[in-house]
Amino acid sequence: MKKVVLLGAFFFGNLLAAAVVVPGPTVECRFGGVLENNRAGLDEAVTYVLVPGTGVSGDFDPYEFVLTMYADYFSVEVYLDGDALSSMDLPIANVLALPIGATIFGLSTVYHEEVDEFVALQYECLRAL
């Protein structure tokens, strides 16, 4: 009985350690705001662990973003002062099939009317883990 309990504790401890140390598939997205003089006025990055039903959002005035995973899709939504500016829904199987460090989608550039001296937003996402 003592061996069974110790062996069970050993396996459970290893499973728990693996769950804590090894995160799920991870995506890193970078957002860059372009000013009217073609200089970068914003350079932000966010890392998101792909967990179904969860998401992460951020507010980099005047832009907001939402990264989520729902059903079988990874979604990127970008807003400008609360109005939808751009969005992408990608099959999660395609994201998981990429090697670490690969671009999930190429650099996306969205031009818009000038807001707080910003005239465009560039963003891309990479498979981080």
| pLDDT tens digits, 77-110 | 999 999 999 999 999 999 999 999 999 988 889 9
By the 8 A CB rule, do 100 and 127 touch? yes
- Mean pLDDT, all residues of the chain: 84
pLDDT at 4 over 50: no
pLDDT band at 8 (very low <50, low <70, confident <90, very high): very low
What does DSSP assign to residue 98?
S
pLDDT at position 10, please?
43
Which position has the higher pLDDT, 69 or 23? 69
| pLDDT tens digits, 57-84 | 999 989 999 999 988 899 999 999 999 9
pLDDT at position 16, please?
47
pLDDT at 18 over 60: no
By the 8 A CB rule, do 80 and 88 touch? no
- pTM of the predicted protein model: 0.76
CA–CA distance from 27 to each of 3, 5, 46, 63, 122 (Å)? Answer: 42, 39, 8, 19, 17
